[in-house]
Amino acid sequence: MENYLTQLYPLPSKKVPLQGLYLSHRVHTLGKTGNPVVYANFLSSLDGRIALEDSKSKASYVPKCLTSANDFRLFLELAAQADCLITHGGYLRALAEKRLGNILQIGITPETNDLAEWRKKESLSLQPDIVVASGSLDFTLPHSIKTHHQKCYIATGSSANPERIHYWEQKGYSVFRAGPNNLVEGKPLIEKLKNIGYKSIYLIAGPQMLATMVKDGQLTRLYHTSSHQLLGGSDFHTLVSGSELGTNGHLKLASLLYDPDALSHPGQWFAQFDMLRGE
């Protein structure tokens, strides 16, 4: 049975099918005539939690009650439109420890084969390439990247450990500096990826990378799912932290849809925002 959402904005309100909703945005075409389109997607509770932190291990995790099949489907539709995915060392460490699932490939399960066919139809590569942002360079790459013949670049800061840089270069990966000290910053990173030739860049790297992209005026579009629940918890992560973003953090609502979801799960809003870039 096909899932339908209620479009609340723009008016008039109407029912729209879930499957294909974000594919219809054709994000991958927006960067063809100029700078690349850089977009991100986040899921949070109404009290702003995107993840909680275990009080003993200090490891972060996403509570299962926060996730939904519909949200994940739309996450994958956005990934299907990317030339490359920007992830980070924290995710790869969590993946190696089996605390998170692998989201680095598209359309490799029977339920998502349509996304692989869609990429082929749109003349995109079989899989998006991977960019890992990491100051420490301390992570493990999953075998799936080589299995699916994805190019993989590693971005780090200017004071990164030379031994770790050498380690990755010896394994055949291109390592470049894109920020001061141990930090990877938005502007030099996107400039490098633009020079490589990427047109659609999907940010799946967490709140620190989101903050630097917004601060540097590099983010084009933000997708945000609001799960209708109050999660609580004293140790948590939210969309951004650190210094104030000012007008660089201003957004303009482009679309809003309501998903009542299953009876046993809270409803959710799917919102699309365009960045005003401080204008």
DSSP for 149-201 reads T--EEEEE-TT--HHHHHHHHHTT-EEEE-SSTT---HHHHHHHHHHHT-SEE
Question: What integer pLDDT is reported at residue 278 of this predicted model?
Answer: 44
pLDDT in tens, 149-188: 999 999 999 999 999 999 999 999 999 999 988 889 999 9
Question: What integer pLDDT is reported at residue 33 of this predicted model?
Answer: 60
pLDDT in tens, 106-154: 999 999 999 999 999 999 999 999 999 999 999 999 999 999 999 999 9
Across the beta sheet with 14-17, the strand order is 14-17, 4-9, 251-259, 268-275, 221-227, 37-45, 200-203, 84-88, 129-133, 152-156, 174-177
pTM above 0.75, yes or no: yes
Q: Which ranges of the chain does DSSP label H, i.e. alpha helix?
A: 69-79, 89-96, 113-121, 144-147, 162-170, 186-196, 207-215
Contacting residues for 235 by C-beta, under 8 A, at least 6 apart: 52, 53, 54, 55
Is residue 258 predicted with pLDDT exceeding 50? yes
pLDDT in tens, 202-243: 999 989 999 999 999 999 999 999 999 999 988 888 998 888
